[in-house]
Amino acid sequence: MADIIGTRMADDGRTARQIFDDVMANPARAHFGFGDKLAVVNVDFQNAYTRIDRYRTAYETDPRQIEHVNHVSALARAAKMPVVWSRVGYADNASDAGVWGTRTDTPDSLQNIKYGSDRHAYDDRCDIRPGDTQFTKRMPSAFFETPLQSLLTWHQVDTVVVTGGSTSGCVRATAVDALSRGYRTIVPIETTADKLASYHWANLTDLQLKYADVVPVADVIAWFENAA
């Protein structure tokens, strides 16, 4: 019987950003690549999570995040490919928040993002057009109990570009669900954000290693230009 050799959890002193940079610099890392038709899924660009001037729950990583997302979304529309916007919101009594809404109950708590409130509203810097798909979700993934899967099937999408926040939460959950459903999954670096740098870079690293192609937003823009 052959010996089984495991590996202890490593701590080599590198920061999460340093590990990310090292992973991204590996030329041997294979990619899923782009397919023939993609959808852009913009996750939770709502005031509760984007307006750092208003809410303690908001965060910003790249200050041009929304600008990049608007650009990619415009390219998708021009190519007649779906653009999707999700946000989180709950009933006044939080009866639809499930166990996710049981840990805390403060004005900043997740389950207190009420339908129609300013925290529920999309950030007005987002260029959302009438033909885009919009929906409210109640759990981390943009796929969970939403129309997203049916939309992608109808439009014969094979690639999902996931943007938004948080990188460690709803972006990650959406990307993992996209891969689990058989989609090539792309996460443009500059279009994601999180509250702490360590969360952000560690989760981008894990997505790159397992679940998605984590790429500069310029790669997505170049794909559209080459596909035109």
pLDDT tens figures, 51-62? 999 999 999 999
CATH 3.40.50.850 fits 35-227, yes or no: yes
Give start and end residues of each alpha helix (H) in 166-216: 172-180, 197-206
Mean pLDDT of the chain: 96
pLDDT of 29 higher than 90? no
Report the alpha-carbon distance of residue 150 to residue 39 in Å, rounded: 12
Dihedral Cα 185, 188, 192, 197, nearest 10 deg: 110
User: Going by DSSP bridges, is the β-strand pair 184-188/83-88 parallel, antiparallel, or unpaired?
Assistant: unpaired
Give 1's pLDDT tier (boundaries 50, 70, 90).
low
Q: Are 193 and 60 in contact (CB under 8 A)?
A: yes
Phi, psi of 80 (to 5 degrees): 60, 45
Count of CB atoms within 10 A of residue 217's CB? 24
* Structure letter (DSSP) for residue 57: T
Domain ranges of the chain: 35-227
Q: Report pLDDT for 27.
A: 82
pLDDT of 41 higher than 70? yes
pLDDT of 156 higher than 60? yes
How far does the chain reach from its first CA to its final CA, in angstroms? 57
Report the alpha-carbon distance of residue 183 to residue 126 in Å, rounded: 25
> From the centroid of its chain, how far is CA 24?
19
Report the alpha-carbon distance of residue 80 to residue 76 in Å, rounded: 6
* Structure letter (DSSP) for residue 135: E
> Largest Cα–Cα distance in the chain?
64
Percent of the chain whose pLDDT exceeds 90: 92
Top pLDDT among 1 and 122 is at 122
Q: Report pLDDT for 223.
A: 97
Q: Are 192 and 171 in contact (CB under 8 A)?
A: yes
Instruction: Give the pTM.
Output: 0.95
Q: Report pLDDT for 120.
A: 98
Structural element, H or E, at residue 59: none
Report the alpha-carbon distance of residue 218 to residue 130 in Å, rounded: 26
Q: Which residues pair with 185 in a beta bridge?
A: 160
Query: pLDDT digit string (tens) for 180-206?
Result: 999 999 999 999 999 999 999 999 999
Query: pLDDT digit string (tens) for 90-114?
Result: 999 999 999 999 999 999 999 999 9
For residue 118, the number of C-alpha atoms closer than 13 Å in the C-beta half-sphere is 8
Q: Report pLDDT for 5.
A: 76
Structure tokens at 186: 């792309």
